[in-house]
Chain A
Amino acid sequence: MPGIKPVMTEQMASSPTIANSIVSLRDVGKTFDSGVVALAGLSLDVHAGEFVSLLGPSGCGKSTALRIVAGLSAPSRGTVEWPQGHADAAAGAIGFVFQEPTLMPWASVARNVELPLSLAGVAQAREAVATALAHVGLADFAAAFPRELSGGMKMRVSIARALVTEPRLLLMDEPFAALDEITRFKLNNDLLLLWQALRRTVIFVTHSVFESVYLSQRIIVMTPRPGHVFAEIAIPAPYPRDERFRTSAEYAGYCRQVAETLAAAMGERG
């Protein structure tokens, strides 16, 4: 698409310095045993306290990138650096939210949320669980079982579980993709309020242009497989963002810019 150039240089200049980065991927590649090359030469910095989205088509390796950051998958090439000290889920420094709620159906909401703490042998978890459930608006549902909840509520439980260790870094892998639009909008708003209140760093993987623009300070557009960074786009709209932002001309403008960048990225073979 003519007129669209990767905007990396300008964006890098305006973004915080590397020293402020919480995690840096350097030339990360991932080749699966099957021979599929998911990532090739992915480099990106995530800054402390920011809300950044990875946007790309299905299969571009964005989920793989997230799993590498989480330590669930080892990169075949390149390095993952933690300038502010290693963040480790076992130490409670990383929270992960999957596309599905991924709850234990045999355990109550409270015991699901408590899981990261109880696996680490934390005895007094009651208060932390109550706080996490209050954050997602489910304080009254501690004793409920997952099957008694709606899809949106299950996802809230999943977010509460990721927050219960008070992580520095929250990784979210298309968490709202399976929800209906009304529920998704509501959870978008609640997630933003939570982010503003808690100021955790969030890496949010999505294939929705609209969702990424609504939520993020910065969007990293990835190419199709093998994925790497095609462009970074800042969304400087102020927070709090609410439904008025969703219908504003400003929002529509950003969406067009991101959609055009994504279309250009789709045209590029990695």
Chain B
Amino acid sequence: MSGRVLRLVLPALLLAIVVVVWEATVRFFAIPAYVLPSPALVFGALIDDRALLFNSLLVTLGLTFEGFMLAAVGGIVLAMAFNQWRLIEYSFYPYAVILQVTPVVAVAPLLLIYLPQHLAVLACAWIVAFFPVLANTTLGLNSVDRNLMALFDLYKASRWQVLMRLKLPAALPQILTGLRIAGGLSLIGAVVAEIAAGSAGAGSGLAYRIAESGYRLNIPRMFAALLLLSLVGVAIFLALSALSHLVLRRWHESELRAEN
């Protein structure tokens, strides 16, 4: 079998084995569902609670998407500002780093005190997701070919032309890398904030469902919500990888196939 087929078949096979062993173990030892539900029960919860879970899925997707977009736009715009005005970079960069290194789990409860829950969740998603966009975009904007800079200089390109026609396109590979990291992180940020909101929250996202199902010992639904969260993460990753491929396929080294 070719490597490509194996890459699909082997993980699928492993999944099947894990599910079968899991099911068999739960049945053989008669483990109660509130300790470890069988895959069949989890699947059942997925079907039975589909309306509830689907709504939660939409809420989580919406929040993650909003947080991601804010992080993407904020990170790119801030990086452009840093690149154009050094004083802005000097003033803001340390705080961007502080925001990044402070664990968001610790910040979320505070944000929930001062902001409405929707905004607090958004803020968490933004805080964790914007830094990789900022850092990667900054790197990209600063790594423009010196000779191309000289060429734009030679033809008296304005600062705006240099930024829009040289620096931004040159930074695209790094920007897309930043976005790919930010996609996963914005989901984490949204989930952390919802979990922190916990029972006090009026939210209805997947993370809230997990917390709520935990309190009610509805473990199958916990697993079902967790499964959906993973799928959201995978979907975000695939979507951003596809975007990256579409944008870069004609010119960037990372998209070149090895030729024999």
Contact = CB atoms under 8 A, between A and B. Distances in A.
Interface stretch (B58-66, B143-151, B209-217): B143-151
A251 to B, nearest CB: 32
A70 B166 contact: no
A72 interface: yes
B44 interface: no
A145 B256 CA distance: 13
B154 interface: yes
Interface of B is mostly: helix
A71 interface: yes
B151 A102 contact: yes
Contacts of B251: 105-106, 145-147
B7 interface: no
A32 B154 CA distance: 20
Given A105-B251, A119-B161, A90 B148 contact: no
A6 to B, nearest CB: 33
Contacts of A146: 251
B155 A106 contact: no
Given A72-B150, A147-B251, A106 B169 contact: yes
B63 to A, nearest CB: 33
Contact of A89 (B148, B155, B169, B250): B155
Given A70-B154, A72-B154, A96-B151, A102 B145 contact: yes
Contacts of B153: 72
A94 B170 CA distance: 25
Interface string A73-113: 00000000000000011100010101010101111000000
B4 interface: no
Contacts of B151: 96, 98, 102, 115
Contacts of A123: none
Interface in B150-198: 150-157, 161, 165-166, 169-170, 172
A89 B156 contact: yes
B252 interface: yes
Interface string B222-260: 000000000000000000000000000011110010000
A115 B169 CA distance: 14
A257 B256 CA distance: 48
Given A102-B145, A102-B147, A104-B166, A119 B155 contact: yes
Nearest to B151: A102
Contact of A90 (B155, B165, B169): B155
Contacts of B147: 98, 100, 102
Among the interface residues A94, A105, A120, which one has the most CB atoms of the partner chain B within 10 A? A105
A263 B156 CA distance: 39
B252 A96 contact: no
A61 interface: no
B157 A104 contact: no
A100 B250 CA distance: 21
B93 to A, nearest CB: 25
A95 to B, nearest CB: 9
Interface in B49-79: none
Contact of B155 (A102, A105, A115, A145): A115
B250 A96 contact: no
A211 to B, nearest CB: 21
Interface string A56-78: 00000000000100111000000
Nearest to B248: A106
A104 B169 contact: yes
B172 A119 contact: no
B166 A120 contact: no
A94 B156 CA distance: 12
Nearest to A88: B156
A124 to B, nearest CB: 18
A106 B153 CA distance: 19
B154 A96 contact: yes
20 contacts: A67-B150, A72-B150, A72-B153, A89-B155, A90-B155, A90-B156, A96-B150, A98-B151, A100-B147, A104-B170, A106-B170, A106-B172, A106-B251, A107-B169, A115-B151, A116-B155, A119-B156, A119-B165, A146-B251, A147-B251
Given A115-B155, A119-B157, 16 more contacts: A70-B154, A71-B154, A88-B156, A90-B155, A98-B151, A102-B147, A104-B166, A104-B170, A105-B251, A106-B170, A119-B152, A119-B156, A120-B155, A145-B250, A147-B251, A147-B256
Closest 4 CB pairs of A and B: A90-B156, A102-B147, A89-B154, A105-B251
